[in-house]
Amino acid sequence: MNFLPQFIVSKDSHGALISIIGRLDAKGASSLWHAITQKISNTDLPNLTLNLEKVNYLDTAGATFIYHIEKLARTRGVKAFFIVNLKQEFSPLIELAKTIKQKDFSNQTPQKLSFVENKGKNLSDTFSETKEFITYIGEITWALIQSLKHPKTIRWADTFLVAERAGVDALPIVALISFIVGLVMAFQAAIPMRMFGAELYVANLIGIAMIRELGPLMTAIVLAGRSSSAFAAEIGTMRINEEIDALTVMGLDPIRFLIVPRVIALTVITPLLTIFSNLVGILGGALVITSLGYPIISYYNQIASFVEWNDFAGGLVKCFVFGILIATSGCIRGYQTQSGPSAVGVSTTRAVVTGIVLIAIFDGIFSIMYYYLGI
């Protein structure tokens, strides 16, 4: 039974007597806290006696509570403070609570930085992290060159496994997203274009948008969310389980062993998935066009006459680069995993964010480049 403690105050000309009855644990102390402190604050008697005869349980919280009653009483001008009828078994705790006076965390509390210092530290952290990221990119590039020079050293079994997981297994989700993008875009475009009797030109829009821009971009974003995070989680867990250390002391280079197969697999798989995505997106558009009453052959002819090989090649080159970016960002973030229970979660998040940011930046660079190249 857990009744909350009670207290009774009695006063005479010499001082006040407070009797506490019941359990003094954290819950009990908190229930009495407000009432007792108020009572003491209102007294101006020279003596205060605390009768603990009826306290049947006392723990560190209760002892701290009593320490604070005494402290408060002293600040209110109480000259003499007594604890009476304390049970023998509780006295060590009351003694322990007296050591609170010596509490001093001053040289343990972490140094607090000012706003400016904090921003400066963040900036310097970002710089050193970027430097580390670039170093890893260099190391990976070197390992890739070495591996391509000696293809026998590439772990092909792992490469194919990653290609299957990141490529074949991603077909349904890539199909779903591309189909819906193609369908919705065609539908949205068809409504205003109908006013000009130009519904068929929706085909031009879908063709050029999917092949040049949306196919590569959608595929890259799906892969960043799906595979980059998986790479970061796999490699991050290996880091935490000391498996990467184990590889290193076996004389095996973890970059060649873990990162190179993933980068090769994703670099090959991204353009293939993009071609698939282009096709499915165009099919989505076809559904809208045929439902508007045009034969599918006119849709096909419209796209075939408008979209050039240049557009197709431009899209493919772009997603080739996206593949490298997604794989490296996932692997590097995994490789940088620190220790602790949330470390892998942090790494996967950073992998996806880094991947998407890099995709956006490089997509912009490609757009400008293609504009000047006249593609």
Q: Which residues bind another protein (CB under 8 A)?
A: 237-238, 241-243, 245-246, 248-253
Of 240 and 287, nearer to another protein (C-beta) is 240
Of 237 and 349, nearer to another protein (C-beta) is 237
Minimum distance between the CB of residue 237 and another protein, rounded to whole angstroms? 8
Minimum distance between the CB of residue 252 and another protein, rounded to whole angstroms? 6
Minimum distance between the CB of residue 241 and another protein, rounded to whole angstroms? 6
User: Within 10 Å of residue 163's Cβ, how many Cβ atoms?
Assistant: 20
Of 52 and 230, nearer to another protein (C-beta) is 230
Task: For tokens 């009572």, name the residue.
Answer: 39
Minimum distance between the CB of residue 253 and another protein, rounded to whole angstroms? 7
Of 257 and 306, nearer to another protein (C-beta) is 257
b/e per residue 102-113 (b: at least 16 CB within 10 A)? eeeeeeeeeeee
Tokens of 160: 């194919």
Name the strands in the sheet holding 15-24, side by side, starting at the edge strand that comes first in the sequence: 6-11, 15-24, 47-58, 80-84
Q: CB–CB of 208/200 below 8 Å?
A: no
Q: Is 204 helix (H, G, I), strand (E, B) or coil?
A: helix
Tokens of 42: 């209102």
Of 29 and 259, nearer to another protein (C-beta) is 259
Q: At what angle do helices 260-291 and 171-194 cross, to 10 degrees?
A: 40
Of 183 and 238, nearer to another protein (C-beta) is 238
Minimum distance between the CB of residue 342 and another protein, rounded to whole angstroms? 19
Residues 6+ apart with CB under 8 A from 8: 18, 19, 21
Q: CB–CB of 372/275 below 8 Å?
A: no
Tell me the CA distances in angstroms from 240 to 139, 244, 351, one per residue in order: 21, 8, 17
Minimum distance between the CB of residue 233 and another protein, rounded to whole angstroms? 12
Of 248 and 298, nearer to another protein (C-beta) is 248
Minimum distance between the CB of residue 269 and another protein, rounded to whole angstroms? 20
Q: What are phi and psi of 310, to 5 degrees?
A: -55, -45
